[in-house]
Amino acid sequence: ETGVTQSPTHLIKTRGQQVTLRCSSQSGHNTVSWYQQALGQGPQFIFQYYREEENGRGNFPPRFSGLQFPNYSSELNVNALELDDSALYLCASTNRPGGWETQYFGPGTRLLVL
Amino acid sequence: AQSVTQPDIHITVSEGASLELRCNYSYGATPYLFWYVQSPGQGLQLLLKYFSGDTLVQGIKGFEAEFKRSQSSFNLRKPSVHWSDAAEYFCAVGFSGGGADGLTFGKGTHLIIQP
């Protein structure tokens, strides 16, 4: 059984640029959630994708967007990067979108915005 | 407003000593409760969860947690810590609406183990 994987592991961008982060869900999982973890903070829910559609969203602006593909993998896109977007971005997968089944987290992508 | 509080930013415990990490939540009903651990450079690993039933739940790595409705708390305990337990611990709560609303995490407690 393959766990949740994320790429890249680290990324450096400049303010105003755009970034795409990728996540492959655990085998058999059809739902992917994204979280942002700023330094010294707990993760904050960005959004969840199920059946290639956004299924729920936290308090993040529209410049945070996502995609889910037929193989359940997912992308997080952030436009017009700001310095405060510097964080660890975590992807989590589960096998059911509407409940509180255990979410399995990937190792994260650390984004630095200069 | 719904919230999760971990009052202790850092806790230092001697190896072999007992441990208790505190978690409180603010919510009008019983939420879904989780504890996760994060080691440096790693993602989050689920230690245990509480949905309903017995208020004392057992998890992995010898951890347990007790749900106390009257105190809106879900404290994590371990009778004897090992140096490998040094990590960041997060309490997370699922409020109503199901998983599509995402988990709400506390700010975490950094656990330091003294030899």
Place of tokens 């709400």: B104
Calculate mean pLDDT across residues A3-20.
Answer: 96
Q: Which of A36, A95, A100 to mutate to test the interface with B (most CBs of B within 10 A)?
A: A100
pLDDT at A97 over 90: no
Cross-chain residue pair A42–B98, CB shorter than 8 Å: no
- Cα B110 to chain centroid, rounded: 12
Q: What is the pLDDT of residues A43-62, one digit of tens each?
A: 999 999 998 999 899 999 99
User: Which of B32, B51, B102 minimises the CB distance to A58?
Assistant: B102
Tokens 């037929």 label which residue? Answer: A70
pLDDT digit string, tens, across residues B54-91: 999 999 999 999 999 999 999 999 999 999 999 999 99
* Each residue's pLDDT tens digit, B102-113: 899 999 999 999
Residue B94 one-letter amino acid: G
The neighbour count for residue A14, using CB atoms within 10 Å, is: 8
CA atoms within 13 A on the CB side of A8: 8
Residue A98, phi-psi category: left (phi > 0), alpha (psi -120 to 50), beta (remainder): alpha
Does B96 score more than 80 pLDDT?
no
Q: Which of B90, B99, B105 sits opposite A101 (nearest CB)?
A: B99
- In chain B, whose CA is at the least distance from the CA of A48? B100
**Using omega within 30 degrees of 0 as the cis cutoff, is the peptide bond preceding A61 cis?**
no
Single out the residue of A75, A84, A106 nearest to residue A39, CA to CA.
A84
- By a Cβ cutoff of 8 Å, what residues of chain B touch chain A? 4, 32, 36, 41-46, 49, 51, 90, 92, 94, 97-108
A98 vs B99: CB contact, 8 Å cut-off?
yes
B49 contacts on A by Cβ (under 8 Å): 100, 102
- Cβ–Cβ < 8 Å for A43, A36: yes
Nearest to B103 by CA among B41, B29, B49, B52: B49
CA distance B108 to B45: 14
Phi, psi of B60 (to 5 degrees): -85, 165
B43/A41 touch (CB, cutoff 8 Å), yes or no: no
